[in-house]
Amino acid sequence: MEQLDIVIKNGKAVLSEGVIQTDIGIKDGRIAIIQKDIKNIAKITWEAENHYIFPGMIDVHVHFSEPGREHWEGFYTGSMMMAAGGCTTYFDMPLNGIPSTVNVDALNQKAQIGNQKSFVDFGLWGGLVPGNETDIEELAQAGVIGFKAFLSETGNKEFESVDDMTLLNGMKVIAKTGKVLALHSESAPITNWLMSEKVKAGALSADDYFESRPIIAEAEAVERALYFAELTRCPLHFVHISSALAIEKIEQAKQRGMDVTVETCPHYLLYNHNHLRKMGSIAKCAPPLREKEEQEKLISLVIRQKFDMITSDHSPCPYELKDPAEHHLFSAWGGISSGQFTLLAMIEIALKYHIPFETVAQLTAFAPAERFGLSNRKGKIAVGFDADLAIITVDESFTVSKENFFAKHKESLYIGHRFPCNVAGTISKGKVVYRDGKIIEQRPYGKWIKPKKSVEVI
Q: What are phi and psi of 375, to 5 degrees?
A: -75, 0
Each residue's pLDDT tens digit in the chain (458 positions)? 588 999 999 999 999 999 999 999 999 999 999 999 998 889 999 999 999 999 999 999 999 999 999 999 999 999 999 999 999 999 999 999 999 999 999 999 999 999 999 999 999 999 999 999 999 999 999 999 999 999 999 888 889 999 999 999 999 999 999 999 999 999 999 999 999 999 999 999 999 999 999 999 999 999 999 999 999 999 999 999 999 999 999 999 999 999 999 999 999 999 999 999 999 999 999 999 999 999 999 999 999 999 999 999 999 999 888 876 666 789 888 999 999 999 999 999 999 999 999 999 999 999 999 999 999 999 999 999 999 999 999 999 999 999 999 999 999 999 999 999 999 999 999 999 999 999 998 889 999 999 976 433 33
Helical segments of 264-334, H only: 266-270, 273-279, 292-303
pLDDT for res 155 = 82
- Give pLDDT, residue 232: 97
**Which residues make Cβ contacts (< 8 Å) with residue 353, sequence separation at least 6?**
299, 303
Helix axes of 104-117 and 75-84: crossing angle, nearest 10 degrees: 60
Which pLDDT score is estimated for 81? 97
- For residues 398 and 419, the answer to whether their CB atoms sit within 8 Å is yes
Query: For 197, left (φ over 0), alpha (ψ -120 to 50), or beta?
Result: alpha
Question: Domains, the chain, ranges and CATH?
Answer: 4-53+385-439 (2.30.40.10), 56-371 (3.20.20.140)
pLDDT at position 441, please?
80
| 180/155 Cα distance (integer angstroms) | 23
Supply the pTM of this predicted model.
0.95
List, in order, residues 6 or more apart from 297 with CB less than 8 Å away. 243, 244
What pLDDT is attached to residue 326?
Answer: 60
DSSP states of 201-268 as a string?
TT--SHHHHHHHS-HHHHHHHHHHHHHHHHHHT--EEE-S---HHHHHHHHHHHHTT--EEEEE-HHH
Nearest CA-CA partner of 49 in 419, 351, 343, 393: 393
Residue 453 has what pLDDT? 62
Q: Compute φ and ψ for 315, nearest 5 degrees.
A: -135, 80
Q: What is the DSSP string of 398-444?
A: EE--TTT--SSS---TTTT-EESSEEEEEEETTEEEEETTEE--SS-
CB 342 within 8 A of CB 312: yes
